[in-house]
Chain A
Amino acid sequence: MKELIQKLVETTGPSGHENRVRELITKEISACSKDVKVDALGNLIARIGEKKPGGLRILLSAHMDEIGVIATHIDENGFIRFTTIGGVRAANCIGGRVEFLQGARGMIYMEKRENAGQGPCIDQRYIDCGFTGKANCPVQVGDMAVFERPFMDLGKRLVAKAFDDRIGVAVQIEVMKQLKQTPHEIFFVFSTQEEVGLRGATTSAYGIDPELGLSIDVTLTGDTPKSIKMAVSLGKGPAIKIRDGGMLSDPRLVQKLIKTADKNNIPYQLEVLEGGTTDAKAIQLTRAGVPAGCLSIPCRYVHSPSEMVDIDDVENAVKLILAFLSEPIKL
């Protein structure tokens, strides 16, 4: 699975321009489903299974897009001003490397600040791709770039950019590959534009009109020095989300996931996240409402160019979702 994960995180796919990730996923799942389509906002939707007694119409969602930056101005000396796509923080920019969709590569730095103690605001940051003027700069206003950082295999722990949410995508692909039998009709959605407002999930959920929704995304951890207070740690199992900044998971779904984990001896944690949300929020409020929840992969340093996950958590997430989907569900 590490090979698949590496391929996914090293692909460029900022919000709104997920096509390269989608092409990679399409190849990976080609043997899994005959009913695959791409909708108006670029969501990749693959259907597996027919609804049988005890079965539900289920939507699973992992988002293909990653955070990035977008060029706003090329100055006369070839430096590129930018704004952010999704939650890119100043502290994670300085010295970081970027790769534009159109191929140019470079790094981010900042102007000298009056008050060096304060982080640089967006106007004080710029990208340097080594161009010397507007004329020889192939980057144009509106071009998008993502962090560039190669995948790092530390054995049990993995480090890369865009584990949010390529790790969720990887889990979803593995579930599709390993799913043997299910009483459910399952729509595997690889969604777009989550980082800028859950937009792909909003429209794909409307189209699918599911009876149950589950998103697979990353969550933060409380296990690093002076971190936020959170009862989730790397290596202690996938996290069953109870609540985040945008959603209260359906408690019946939470209980069902807990029961399934206990029955199959799969480690898990319970997650209460103060800030941030996932596709599940949008799914929950679709049409007349959908029971929704989320299974999270614990992840350190989310939205930095070097996020970290534990491979055991990832594999246990696959196991848990497979077990969950293989049995009837009665809410």
Chain B
Amino acid sequence: MPPEETNLLTQQFTELVEKLSNAAGVSGAEGSVRAIVKEQLDVLKLNYKVDALGNVLVEHFCGKPGALRIMLASHMDEVGLMIVEEDEGGMYRIEIVGGIDPRVLPGKTVWVGKQRMPGIIGARPIHLTDEDDRKKPISIDNLRIDLGPGGAGKVKPGDRAVFATEFQSNGFSYSGKALDDRLGIAILLTILAEPPKDIDLLAAFTTQEEIGLRGARVAGYALNPDAAFAIDATPANDLPAWNDDENIGYNTRLGCGPAIYIADGSTISDPRLVNLLQQTAQKENIPYQIRQPGGGGTDAGSIHKQREGIPSISLSVPIRYAHTPCSIAWQGDIANTLILLQVVLKQFPADIFSSPR
């Protein structure tokens, strides 16, 4: 278990993550998050462009001829809900955007639409249910967002809803919604504040990752880098198994450092990049873990298949309770992800792709 530490990340970083985590940006409606990203890029005086899918693309040239073009991708979107149609009495039918287990929904508070109207996902109070009802999970068709009396006509079909979770930092961990992947966004912005000197850094703040890695696909095509890193968050199912058996399906663990991907459901990482990350971490004494192979996907899944192929890998911060109203990440893991990435980019070997994959 990780030891308690005083603030490992700067106050500035924590405030940035707070702003990002609290912002509403469900897939396809990432505007509020994009606004924060643009604001930060303006402060750094970096040029950027917003493409047809809403990706924010930044190209930072180091000025050295023949420098490798390295792309970093983090996604701005979060999983959430979409209003489908108005029902009776100020209630609204909803659909899930991205992967959310419907069992986490009943009784949760949400903010709906650009105006962040507070609502509740209706669930019957327990004394009005019977035992059989309570055994079955409620399907999405039987859930409604309730805006309270007077809620009729206040939001429209297509409006998104996010979990109404306020970000908190307690000095050693962060809790909040959408740490997947606002942590990645904050890491990218921090790297851009002090970019590496020997490579061209291409940063893509992508859209619609949660519904099919869509923004990254066109960003990868447009930027066509020499290599790409997806910086994401990945589940840590590291609590003890209910029956005291060894937990063999933890995916990653909090406190064990950034998670390097060898293979997930969308990508088999380029082994040259796996070696680079592992060897750098070992040399610099940065803790790391290998994300358990199997399942899931990141922006690397679509980027590596663009054009004639792009060597790619993912590096993620482990978080508990991903895709639920509130996730937890340990600040030490976030700090180590940032440090590992900074060191790798600073020492990126120019000849890494001279030997074939």
Contact = CB atoms under 8 A, between A and B. Distances in A.
- The B contact surface, by secondary structure, is loop
Interface string B203-226: 000000000000000000000000
A311 to B, nearest CB: 32
A193 interface: yes
Contacts of B157: none
B268 A142 contact: no
Contacts of A119: none
A81 B247 CA distance: 11
A75 B246 contact: yes
Contact of A142 (B249, B250, B293, B295): B293
10 contacts: A15-B268, A17-B268, A39-B308, A40-B357, A70-B263, A71-B293, A73-B292, A81-B248, A83-B294, A196-B268
Of A38, A41, A196, the most chain B CB neighbours within 10 A belong to A41
Contacts of A141: 262, 290, 292-293
Interface string A75-86: 110000101110
A19 B357 CA distance: 7
A114 interface: no
A153 to B, nearest CB: 32
B257 to A, nearest CB: 14
Nearest to A65: B268
B248 A193 contact: no
Interface stretch (A200-208, A220-228, A270-278): A200-208
Interface residues of B, number: 26
Interface in B257-303: 262-263, 268-269, 271, 274, 290, 292-295
B294 A142 contact: no
Nearest to B249: A123
A72 B294 contact: yes
Interface in B230-270: 246, 248-250, 262-263, 268-269
A140 interface: yes
A104 to B, nearest CB: 16
Interface residues of A, number: 35
Contacts of B304: 41, 199
Q: Which interface residue of B271, B290, B305, B307 has the most chain A CB atoms within 10 A?
A: B305
A40 B293 contact: no
A72 B263 CA distance: 10
Interface string B37-66: 000000000000000000000000000000
Given A40-B311, A83-B292, 16 more contacts: A15-B268, A17-B271, A41-B357, A70-B262, A70-B294, A73-B250, A75-B248, A83-B293, A123-B248, A140-B290, A141-B262, A142-B263, A142-B290, A142-B293, A200-B309, A207-B307
B356 interface: yes
A213 to B, nearest CB: 16
B294 A40 contact: no
Interface string A4-24: 000000000001110100100
B310 interface: yes
A68 B159 CA distance: 44
A4 B293 CA distance: 33
Indicate the member of B290, B295, B357 with the most A CB atoms within 10 Å: B357
